[in-house]
């Protein structure tokens, strides 16, 4: 299938980022959320980011106008009925995602490709109430979407080869490099490996092995990482971390339970840079 029209469900930072890169690469995008103010805020942030690049000489006004012109917004999920592909980017709550796909199954064309941007949950479970499950798959984008080059494509138990190939072509069309996760395993490829690394960094801190700052410095300079593990958690948002740990706990390899120090940060509303506080203070 030749994908031309892409629907995005969820106008948060992930949904907005996916909408931006798709629109920038000449796809027609419909961005949907439950409140118009969420959509308007997303479009405003997209415009502000692009305007900043124009001011820096890194982007042209023509491309900004084209990108914004390729995005329209809605609060009515029925407006996605003619989309060739729909990507769900709602919060990491299984029942919410399942309900979203049940509704998309009702609204969208039978041949439309339906994708979830979950970072760790079972694609098969999310799409269990969706008709024609062979057209469904996971498409895990990474934050910030406009900068990160990877997309994990995750096969559900019934995902067809044709669906995977179409998603691969579309991912390449929006400037991303796709990799295929052939098994619907918790955490897929990146988070299954990454969270073992992050959890061990937290344990080193909790056991008094080193300070947060020294662990970050050691990982950056010792492994040539652009960010240390605590800086990375703050940037991506700490509040989702315990939910991913819970999903990964199905794996027998490691103790995936969220450490107490991290749970305390979430309880205190210290969600990282966006809240002004995480492992570090940003105000």
Q: For residues 167 and 19, give the distance between their C-alpha atoms in angstroms, rounded to a whole number.
A: 15
Q: Which of 105, 119, 120, 122 is catalytic?
A: 119
Q: For residues 211 and 204, give the distance between their C-alpha atoms in angstroms, rounded to a whole number.
A: 8
Query: Residue 54: what pLDDT?
Result: 97
Q: Give pLDDT tens digits for 45-85.
A: 999 999 999 999 999 999 999 999 999 999 999 999 999 99
Q: Is residue 271 flagged as an active site residue?
A: no
Q: What are phi and psi of 203, to 5 degrees?
A: -65, -40
Query: Residue 240: what pLDDT?
Result: 85
Average pLDDT, the chain: 95
Compute and round to an integer the Cα radius of gyration of the chain: 19
% of the chain with per-residue pLDDT over 90: 88
Structure tokens at 133: 């499950």
Q: Give pLDDT tens digits for 150-196.
A: 999 999 999 999 999 999 999 999 999 999 999 999 999 999 999 99
The H-assigned helical ranges of 108-189 are 123-126, 161-173
The mean pLDDT of 216-240, rounded to a whole number, is 95
Residue 144: asked if its preceding bond is cis (omega within 30°), the reply is yes
Q: Which of 117, 152, 271, 277 is catalytic?
A: 152
Q: Which of 70, 117, 120, 191 is catalytic?
A: 191
Of 130 and 96, the structure prediction assigns the larger pLDDT to 96
Q: Is residue 152 flagged as an active site residue?
A: yes
Q: For residues 159 and 108, give the distance between their C-alpha atoms in angstroms, rounded to a whole number.
A: 17
Q: Give pLDDT tens digits for 131-150.
A: 889 999 999 999 999 999 99
Query: Residue 69: what pLDDT?
Result: 98
Q: For residues 229 and 209, give the distance between their C-alpha atoms in angstroms, rounded to a whole number.
A: 15
In sequence order, the 6+-apart residues with CB closer than 8 A to the CB of 201 are 215, 219, 228, 229, 230
Q: For residues 18 and 62, give the distance between their C-alpha atoms in angstroms, rounded to a whole number.
A: 20
Query: Residue 1: what pLDDT?
Result: 76
Q: Is residue 225 flagged as an active site residue?
A: no
Indicate the DSSP class of residue 272.
B
| Domains and their CATH numbers in the chain | 5-181 (3.40.50.720), 191-275 (1.10.1040.10)
């Amino acid at each position: 299938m030749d994908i031309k029209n892409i629907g995005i469900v969820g106008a948060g930072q992930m949904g907005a980022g996916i909408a931006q890169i798709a629109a920038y690469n000449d796809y027609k995008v419909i961005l949907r959320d439950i409140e118009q103010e969420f959509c308007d805020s997303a479009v405003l942030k997209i415009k502000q980011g692009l305007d900043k690049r124009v001011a820096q000489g890194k982007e042209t006004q023509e491309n900004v106008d084209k990108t914004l012109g390729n995005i329209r917004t809605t609060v009515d999920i029925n407006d996605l009925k003619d989309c060739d592909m729909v990507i769900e980017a709602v919060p990491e709550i299984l029942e919410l995602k399942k309900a979203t796909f049940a509704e998309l199954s009702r609204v969208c064309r039978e041949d439309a490709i339906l994708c979830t941007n979950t970072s760790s949950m079972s694609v098969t479970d999310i799409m269990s109430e969706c008709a024609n499950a062979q057209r469904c798959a996971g498409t895990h984008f990474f934050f910030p979407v406009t900068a990160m080059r990877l997309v994990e494509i995750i096969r559900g138990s019934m995902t067809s080869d044709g669906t995977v190939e179409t998603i691969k072509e579309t991912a390449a069309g929006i400037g991303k490099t796709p990799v295929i996760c052939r098994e619907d395993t918790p955490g897929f490829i990146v988070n299954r490996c990454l969270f073992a690394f992050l959890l061990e960094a937290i344990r080193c801190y909790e056991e008094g092995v080193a300070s947060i700052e020294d662990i970050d410095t050691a990982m950056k300079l010792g492994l040539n990482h652009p960010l240390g593990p605590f800086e990375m958690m703050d940037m991506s948002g700490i509040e989702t971390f315990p939910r991913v740990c819970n999903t990964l706990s199905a794996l027998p390899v490691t103790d995936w339970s969220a450490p107490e120090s991290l749970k305390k940060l979430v309880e205190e509303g210290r969600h990282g840079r966006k809240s002004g506080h995480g492992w570090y203070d940003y105000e």
